[in-house]
Structure 1
Amino acid sequence: QSNDIAQGVDHASDDHLNTGAGDQGLMFGYACDETPELMPAPIYYAHRLVERQAQLRKDGRLPFLRPDAKSQVTMRYVDGKPHSIDTVVLSTQHHPDQSETQTKMKASFTEAIIEEIIKPVLPKEWLQNTRYLINPTGRFVIGGPQGDCGLTGRKIIVDTYGGACPHGGGAFSGKDPTKVDRSAAYAARYVAKNIVAAGLARQCQIQVAYAIGVAEPMNITVYTEGTGVVSDERLAALVREHFDLRPKGIIQMLDLLRPIYEKTAAYGHFGREEPEFSWEKTDKAAALRAAAGL
């Protein structure tokens, strides 16, 4: 970063809690009660599908798979709750012998993907008239860096919450925790997850905004879409009382100066019970619930 920027943000490793934000911008965090991990069901299961693809490739059960893969889960909702899965899209790189033609996969390939990857992952009761699109463009032999020119900064929605929550636009990967694009988004997830875990709302979206060189957030807004047991304004006040959302405060609160980021490169930054992911803890839930008078 330039010297002009550094003069306002270069105290991340000392005890100066008023270190300014590394840039302006707004960040979002989200949680809901659709899954035990308090994540939206579509993105949660999309990640589990590609994890399963990697597992079966690595352990040799589906030896024709190759590393590149992507997934998408489209769900039907009834009264705001997941009801069933409408469509599953799974595209996976494969050995050349798995395609009959340039645009058509072997039936055995499609069956293996559905039976060995998709059905073991998705809840059986949600598979009602579900449509499966497996390698819908056909042959997928060229993948990875040979097929696409980089990912950093490009896949920001699959890194977060899918279509359930807005995104401020700032990517995470490659940024140290003085950059609020990353650290404040992690903190916003931490806040939202603790609010839902406390039973204060069934879904919660947190928005924070920063100005470059200024430590305190410009605003902290809570949206619960009518699912909160106290008002959104009261929740915002509780957030200010219980969470330090200054950049240095976030770094200390979540212990972000550790070498913990490699695992975030695939399968999402949120909704995973990894020991390094301090923003997934719900250790503030009891205090929030008590402060709300519940």
Structure 2
Amino acid sequence: MKKVCVIGWPVAHSRSPLIHNHWIAEHHIPDARYELLAVKPEDAPETIRHLHKLDFIGANVTVPHKETAYATLTRHDAVAARLKAVNTIVTCEDGTLEGRNTDGYGFMANLKAGARDWRISEGAAVMLGAGGAARAIALALEDEGAPEIRIVNRTVERAEALIRDLGLTRAKALAMSETEKALEGAGLLVNTTTLGMKGENDVDIDISALPRDAVVTDIVYTPLETGLLRRAREAGHEVVDGLGMLLYQAVPGFEAWFGVRPHVTEELRNIVLVDIGQPQQTR
């Protein structure tokens, strides 16, 4: 039996089993299963070290264990090493466990799929927020060749710390009061915070200074169209919702575990949309 799990606390909300078990069935992979594994923070290091003893060939890692997974594992890919956070654990050919991070890949793949005419070289990327998700996205944008990354955060010092920690060379930190200036001449606006999520306050910024041809995207996917995306769409911007990031970040792990590269399809999107209580879509 090839077993994989997602490790988190809590973890019942995770859609990862839905995604991976869909791909397992789609590709007719025998004796394979993906399941939830609720692990308390104090038990996470031991659980991660002993994945094989628990009969798992790999795992995904979600909050609050991503940094713990990085600290526990002694082998990492280049991205996880820079982020100091792991969301995917794979078994290497020599049997050792390696921590990887696919969050930035998922973000970029979703953006490219959702805004096919967008080019990263066409303007600065403006990021709202400087938390854990922002780290992965900022690194991905710089590695992809963004000419400038403007990180707007309530606490400028936190954005500055992010830039220093990741060694970003084309990024700068700005206060929320400088949002209008940050949006001028930008080609991309990204909300990396939980603002706009169901039960949270909306992103309260004026986007009128954003050039009309700029793309607006949000990592929040419940609701699928956040207040920011709705206002951007109504203003004529191309928008990309956050669901695809969840789907695309799962692709590299599945390929590493099962040897098959899965595809993010309309069918899969709709399966997850039904699960999160959102209407199905036809693209």
Query: Which one has the bigger helix percentage?
Result: 2
Q: Name the TM-score, length of structure 2 as normaliser.
A: 0.26
The higher relative CO (CA closer than 8 Å, separation ≥ 6) is in: 1
Q: Greater Rg, structure 1 or structure 2? A: 1
Q: Name the TM-score, length of structure 1 as normaliser.
A: 0.25
